[in-house]
């Protein structure tokens, strides 16, 4: 690029190029940007010497003290003045930024008009402040809702406990066989309501936590292999009732550090939700298999069942709140939603795949705990 084109480009970018002559005295280099004459009563031309601090830009007086030291030391890169505001001959305010450079043994001062850039920065700062206020208001509102929800659920849970207690006392009464059946139905419904209350509280608590903070204590990273084994041990009796085998694949290297980013009690809940989901849709005398493998910086967990699979029209909504299968045999459609928001809060992901041989595969990925060498 020749000198003429360079000068045109600098002027088009609203940049005034000056060469340092002596303290406070500069020579205009190249073309003059249009804005310069708005600050001067005299006609300025290329090659003229001008006194910058006192006559043109008073703000630069202090900056040039640092610039002269910068030039004296032949420092590399550039020295910036930061943004400042000047008033032109018409009383209009304009924003500027200056740079000191040392090029080809010449001391160069660039002064740039920042009208659009400055306005863009101001707009972004203002928007950032507005979004911050909205965020904190949303956080405050959610915390209020969390308190209210816990109070409501506490009252409901207390009433359910009283009902359950009364139903338990009815066992000692002289009931007919049909009456005992009705009694058992009532107790089961109470238990379901207690589980639903816990699910709702867990979901809302997780949603609030996702707004407040996504940081996880790395030192408390749970061992996902241990969690899977504990869930299998806990759910094994339930699976035995339908003669369903619940097993962990044997091709797992136990010498690997299987700790992941997360929190143990909620990780156990995620695994349990996926395994219980497989149980509900598995046929009698079938198998549910859990596999575990490394996937780069992540750990991948698969839960495979031999059930009827998920209808295509249900797949896109599987992990949404209150999503249920057609038979509506789930827990109000909160289990998979809990898995999604919990894993995403930890930087993980969850999904579904149909198995070619029939059945479903629910998988999730979590980042491995960083190992410091």
> Which CATH number belongs to the domain containing residue 323 in this structure?
3.30.565.10
pLDDT grade, residue 316 (50/70/90)? Answer: confident
Greater confidence (244 vs 40) lies with: 244
Q: End of a domain among 183, 212, 241?
A: 212
Range with the poorest average pLDDT among 114-123, 236-245, 296-305: 114-123
Burial letters 113-127, b for 16+ CB under 10 A, else e: bbeeebeeeeeeeee
In the structure, how many helices (H) and strands (E) does the chain have? 8, 11
Hey, is 172 helix, strand or coil? coil
244 belongs to a structural domain:
yes
222: exposed, middle or buried (Cβ count in 10 Å: 0-12, 13-18, 19+): buried
| Closest residue by Cα to residue 299 from 338, 275, 267 | 267
pLDDT at 130 over 70: yes
pLDDT grade, residue 343 (50/70/90)? Answer: very high
The answer on 350 and 243 residing in a single domain is yes
Q: End of a domain among 113, 135, 164?
A: 113
Q: Which helix (H) or strand (E) holds 349?
A: strand 349-354
What is the pLDDT at residue 330? 47
- Most trustworthy range by pLDDT among 101-110, 209-218, 308-317, 346-355: 346-355
> Which CATH number belongs to the domain containing residue 142 in this structure?
1.20.58
pLDDT grade, residue 174 (50/70/90)? Answer: confident
Looking at residues 90-115, what average pLDDT do you find? 86
The answer on 226 and 349 residing in a single domain is yes
Classify 50 in phi/psi space as left (phi over 0), alpha (psi -120 to 50) or beta. Answer: beta
Domain count along the chain? 3
What's the mean pLDDT when you consider all of the chain?
A: 81
Q: End of a domain among 189, 212, 235?
A: 212
The answer on 128 and 107 residing in a single domain is no
Looking at residues 91-112, what average pLDDT do you find? 87
pLDDT digits (tens, 9 = 90+) for 5-32: 777 778 778 888 899 888 878 898 888 8
pLDDT digits (tens, 9 = 90+) for 57-82: 667 778 888 888 888 887 678 898 88
The answer on 344 and 268 residing in a single domain is yes
**Cα 33 from Cα 17, distance rounded (Å):** 9
Residue with structure tokens 């009705």? 182
pLDDT digits (tens, 9 = 90+) for 250-304: 888 889 999 999 989 889 989 998 998 899 888 889 999 999 999 999 999 999 9
118 belongs to a structural domain:
no
The answer on 103 and 143 residing in a single domain is no
What is the pLDDT at residue 288? 95
pLDDT at 328 over 60: no
Domain range for 194 is 123-212
Looking at residues 183-198, what average pLDDT do you find? 78
The answer on 139 and 44 residing in a single domain is no
pLDDT at 307 over 50: yes
**Cα 185 from Cα 17, distance rounded (Å):** 87
> Which CATH number belongs to the domain containing residue 48 in this structure?
3.30.450
What is the pLDDT at residue 373? 43
The answer on 354 and 226 residing in a single domain is yes
What is the pLDDT at residue 367? 93
């Amino acid at each position: 690029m020749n000198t003429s084109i360079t000068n045109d480009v600098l002027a088009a970018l609203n940049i005034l190029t000056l060469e340092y002559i002596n303290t406070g005295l500069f020579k205009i280099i190249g073309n003059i940007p249009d804005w310069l004459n708005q600050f001067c009563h005299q006609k300025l031309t290329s090659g003229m010497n001008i006194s910058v601090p006192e006559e043109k830009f008073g703000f630069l007086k202090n900056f040039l003290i640092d610039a002269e030291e910068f030039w004296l030391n032949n420092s590399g890169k550039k020295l910036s003045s930061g943004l400042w505001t000047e008033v032109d001959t018409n009383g209009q305010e304009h924003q500027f930024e200056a740079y000191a450079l040392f090029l080809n043994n010449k001391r160069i001062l660039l002064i740039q008009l920042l009208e659009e850039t400055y306005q863009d920065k101001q707009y972004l700062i203002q928007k950032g402040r507005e979004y911050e206020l909205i965020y904190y208001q949303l956080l405050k509102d959610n915390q209020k809702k969390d308190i209210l929800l816990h109070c409501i659920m506490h009252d409901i849970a207390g009433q359910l406990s009283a009902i359950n207690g009364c139903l338990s006392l009815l066992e000692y009464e002289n009931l007919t066989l049909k009456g005992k059946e009705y009694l058992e139905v009532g107790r089961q419904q109470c238990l379901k309501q207690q589980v639903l209350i816990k699910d709702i509280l867990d979901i809302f608590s997780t949603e609030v936590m996702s707004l407040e903070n996504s940081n996880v204590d790395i030192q408390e990273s749970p061992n996902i292999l241990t969690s899977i084994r504990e869930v299998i041990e806990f759910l094994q009796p339930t699976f035995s009732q339908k003669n369903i085998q619940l097993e962990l694949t044997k091709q797992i290297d136990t010498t690997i550090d299987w700790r992941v980013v997360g929190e143990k009690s909620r990780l156990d809940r995620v695994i349990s939700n996926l395994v219980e989901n497989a149980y509900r849709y598995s046929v009698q005398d079938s198998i549910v298999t859990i596999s575990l493998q490394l996937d780069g910086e992540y750990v991948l967990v698969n839960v495979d069942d031999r059930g009827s699979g998920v209808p295509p029209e249900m797949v896109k909504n599987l992990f949404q709140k209150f999503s249920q299968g057609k038979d509506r045999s789930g827990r109000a459609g909160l289990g998979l939603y809990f898995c999604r928001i919990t894993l995403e809060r930890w930087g993980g992901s969850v999904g579904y795949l149909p198995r070619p041989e029939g059945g479903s595969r629910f998988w999730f990925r979590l980042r491995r705990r960083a190992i410091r060498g």
